[in-house]
Amino acid sequence: MQIIERKQLRQKPAGGTQLGFGHYFTDYMFTMKYTADKGWHDAKIEPNEPKPFDLATSIFHYAQGIFEGMKAFRQPDGSIAVFRPDENWARMNRSATRMCIPNFPEDVVEEGLEELLKLDRDWIPAEPGTALYIRPTIVATRVMLGVHASTEYLFFIILSPVGSYYAHGLEPTKLVVEDKYTRATIGGTGEAKCLGNYAASMKAGEEAEEKGFDQVLWLDANEKKYVEEVGSMNMFFVIGGEVVTPALVGSILPGITRKSCIQILKDKGYRVSERRISIDEVIAAQENGTLDEAFGTGTAAVISPVGLIRYRDKDYTINGGKMGAVTKMLYDTITGIQYGTAPDPYGWKKIIK
Ligand SMILES: *Cc1c(COP(=O)(O)O)cnc(C)c1O
């Protein structure tokens, strides 16, 4: 793989809890181009610097683009661990297919990521709860305004040292059930990590924040009845000893943290159901005292306890607004594997020396 070195390295941020999420970027990036005649080609590592684009570039107009999110963790022995990257590449190619983007060779980007992490390894923060966030993205780069799939693309990976996703860290989050706007519909693009999904969700997110909530809890678009997910997290509820997460019906993003949690729960003997769950069932369980816990799962936030849900102007405080035992077990298990303070029985980590 070609590596173009930079002359001067960037100033690194102060680290720790001040990092926030997605504010700082490392020295290098991975890039690869696609053209109809050459296919995917010209994979390389180059200095992370701004790139000029013609304003008629199709990504600016029709959002034909996809992304991924994963994390690299500094291990006690100084090596680097990436959590389940194969799952991310596979999902990214599924997103690509949905968005008419040509599938990319997973081995090439995997090698690119490895080289990139080796070059930028000093950017991986060491404090507990921090990580190096990995953002692979594909954008349509053909300069043309017709509404057609592009014939040219840019694949890139940028890296960002991050602290916790929410400003309040592991404090339980507050969600408001969204019954006006919708995130995704069956047959739409909710299953794909495509750019437009997130633009479409910002209005609801902004209104939720104005009311003092962290994010919205989305319901299904048809009936506004079934719980789907949160903007960047899948949802779980612990109801009377059963751990329930909404089934992947086509409008929900199939999270890798979600999949990992289901496996851990099953292996530890919990009763886990992937099924449709209505917001009425959640509220009824809360009211009759059987809703023990609610939490969200995602790469950025890891496992995030939900302390309060507002539905139709009523606030429901879950588990006294505190993190529950199942939530804590999953948080400890997953972060133990990620940070290398516990064994990795599933072989989920890719280790880079
Ligand atoms: C990325 C994402 C998730 C979480 O997926 P992970 O693979 O666990 O990071 C959940 N919901 C949405 C809408 C997402 O974009």
The answer to whether residue 55 scores a pLDDT higher than 90 is yes
Residue 17's pLDDT is what?
A: 67
Residue 14's pLDDT is what?
A: 83
DSSP lists the bridge partners of residue 155 as 32, 138
Tell me which residue of 283, 264, 249, 259 sits closest to 329, measured CA to CA.
264
87-141: pLDDT as tens digits: 999 999 999 999 999 999 999 999 999 999 999 999 999 888 899 999 999 999 9
Among 165, 233, 251, 262, the mutation site with the greatest number of ligand 1 atoms within 8 A of its Cβ is 233
Residue 18's pLDDT is what?
A: 84
Handedness of CA 318, 320, 326, 328 (dihedral sign): positive
Name the strand (E) or helix (H) holding 71: strand 70-74
CA distance 101 to 92: 10
Low-confidence winner among 28-32, 63-67, 160-164, 183-187 (lowest mean pLDDT):
160-164
DSSP code, position 143? B
Residue 69 Cα to ligand 1 midpoint, Å, equals 8
What's the pLDDT band for 170 if we cut at 50, 70, 90?
confident
3-state secondary structure of 340: coil
Residue 168's pLDDT is what?
A: 66
- Determine whether the shortest distance from the Cβ of 257 to ligand 1 is under 6 A: yes
DSSP lists the bridge partners of residue 229 as 234
> Closest residue (by CA) to atom 2 of ligand 1?
232
- Determine whether the shortest distance from the Cβ of 234 to ligand 1 is under 6 A: yes
The answer to whether residue 252 scores a pLDDT higher than 90 is yes
Pairing of strands 291-298, 233-239: antiparallel
How many residues are listed for the chain in this entry? 353
Residue 153's pLDDT is what?
A: 98
Q: What is the DSSP string of 218-266?
A: EE-TTTS-BEEEETTEEEEEEETTEEEEE---SSS---HHHHHHHHHHH
Residue 192 Cα to ligand 1 midpoint, Å, equals 10
Predicted model pTM: 0.96
What's the pLDDT band for 166 if we cut at 50, 70, 90?
low
- Determine whether the shortest distance from the Cβ of 298 to ligand 1 is under 6 A: yes
Residue 59's pLDDT is what?
A: 97
Region 291-305: mean pLDDT is 95
β strands within 125-214, DSSP E: 131-140, 152-162, 173-178
CA distance 25 to 126: 16
For the CA of 259, the nearest atom of ligand 1: 8
Residue 27's pLDDT is what?
A: 98
Residue 344's pLDDT is what?
A: 97
- Determine whether the shortest distance from the Cβ of 193 to ligand 1 is under 6 A: yes
Region 175-182: mean pLDDT is 96
What's the pLDDT band for 255 if we cut at 50, 70, 90?
very high
For the CA of 88, the nearest atom of ligand 1: 7
What's the pLDDT band for 286 if we cut at 50, 70, 90?
very high
- Determine whether the shortest distance from the Cβ of 251 to ligand 1 is under 6 A: no
- Determine whether the shortest distance from the Cβ of 299 to ligand 1 is under 6 A: yes
- Determine whether the shortest distance from the Cβ of 258 to ligand 1 is under 6 A: yes
Residue 4's pLDDT is what?
A: 97
3-state secondary structure of 107: helix
> Residue 224: which region, alpha, beta or left (left: phi > 0; alpha: psi -120 to 50)?
left
- Determine whether the shortest distance from the Cβ of 253 to ligand 1 is under 6 A: yes
What's the pLDDT band for 169 if we cut at 50, 70, 90?
low
- Determine whether the shortest distance from the Cβ of 105 to ligand 1 is under 6 A: no
Tell me which residue of 166, 169, 175 sits closest to 286, measured CA to CA.
175
Residue 301's pLDDT is what?
A: 87
CA distance 24 to 11: 10
Among 82, 135, 198, 232, the mutation site with the greatest number of ligand 1 atoms within 8 A of its Cβ is 232
CA distance 26 to 14: 13
The answer to whether residue 342 scores a pLDDT higher than 90 is yes
Catalogue the long-range contacts made by 203-211 (C-beta closer than 8 Å, 24 or more residues apart): 204/178, 204/180, 205/231, 208/175, 208/176, 208/178, 211/176, 211/310
The answer to whether residue 71 scores a pLDDT higher than 80 is yes
Pairing of strands 39-47, 2-3: parallel
